[in-house]
Structure 1
C-alpha cells in the first residue's frame, strides 16, 4: 500500500514539475524566437514531446515509489529534488530567458543525475526496476543533442 501512495505522490510531483516547466516556457514554442532557431533536422514533431514526457514520468514515478520504499534518506530526497529543479529550470533557461548555453549545461547535469540514479540506486532490490529509467535517459540524450545543435549552430 505504501508504494501506491508513493507512486501517486511522485505522479503529482513529477507532472506538477512538468506543468511548472511548461508555464515557464509560456508561448515560446510558438513564438518568433523559437521558430527562427536553426533546429536540428532530427527535432521531433511537437506531439512527441508530450507523449515522451508522459511515458517518462509514469516510469520515473513507478521507479521512485520503489526506491523511496527501500531507501528513504535525506540523500535520496536531495538527489531527487535536484532532478526536479534541473528539469523545471531547463525550460526557464532555454525558452523563457533564451539562455541556450546555460540550458545545455543544465540538461547535461540532469542527464548525468538520472544516469546516477540508474547506476547508484540500481541494487539487487531495484535491479530490474532501474530499467524504467531508460526512457528518461534516452530522451535526455536526444534533448541534449537538440539543445547542443541550437547552441553550436545558431
Structure 2
C-alpha cells in the first residue's frame, strides 16, 4: 500500500536527520575555524543535507517497494545501508560535540566510501534508486576533501582539543 511507502520514507528521513537533532552544529565554533576559500556558506549545509536525506529516503523507499517490503533484499544491501547510516550519524558527534577534526575527516571519508557501496548495492534493485544516491556520493566526496582541508588548516588548534 502507498502508506507503507510513505512510512518508510518518513522513518528513513527522520533517522538520517537524527544526529543533527542530537548533536547540532556548533555554528560559533565552525565559524571560528580556518577554511579554504571554496568552502560553501554554512547555511548551505543544512539545505544540502536535507535534500540528500530526502533522496536517500526515496531510494530506500524504492528498494522497499521493489523487494516486497524488504523481504527479498540482500544482507549486503542491509549491511551497506546500516554501515553508511552509522558513519553518517557519527559525523555530527565527532565534528561538533567532540570537536575532533581528524576524526571528522576519517568519518566523512567512510561516509563517502559506504555511500558508494550503498549505491552499488542499490543498483541491483533499481537504477532510479541508485541514481538518487549519486548526489549523496558526490557531496560526501566533496565533504571529505573539505574536511581534510579544514583539518590541515586548523591542525595546531585541533591538537589543543
**Structure 1's 41 and 127: CA in aligned 2 closer, same or farther, altered over 3 A?**
same
Q: Which residue of 2 aligns with 1:55?
A: 51
Q: CA RMSD for the aligned pairs?
A: 2.1
1:95, distance to aligned residue in structure 2 (A): 1.1
Task: State the match for 2:37 in structure 1.
Answer: 41
Q: 2:19·2:90 contact (CA, 8 Å) conserved in 1?
A: no
Specify whether residues 77 and 120 from structure 1 end up closer, same or farther in structure 2 by C-alpha distance, changes over 3 A only. closer
Higher relative contact order (CA 8 A, sep 6+): 1
Unaligned 5+ segments in structure 1 are none
Change (3 A) 1:15 1:39: farther
In the TM superposition, residue 7 of structure 1 has moved relative to its aligned partner by 4.5
> In 1, Cα distance between the equivalents of 2:134 and 2:118?
11
Partner residue, 2:96: 95
TM-score, scaled relative to structure 2? 0.80
- Verify: 1:140 aligned to 2:140, yes or no: yes
CA distance in 2, matches of 1:56, 1:132: 9
Cross-structure match for 2:159:
none
Gaps of 5+ in 2: 155-161
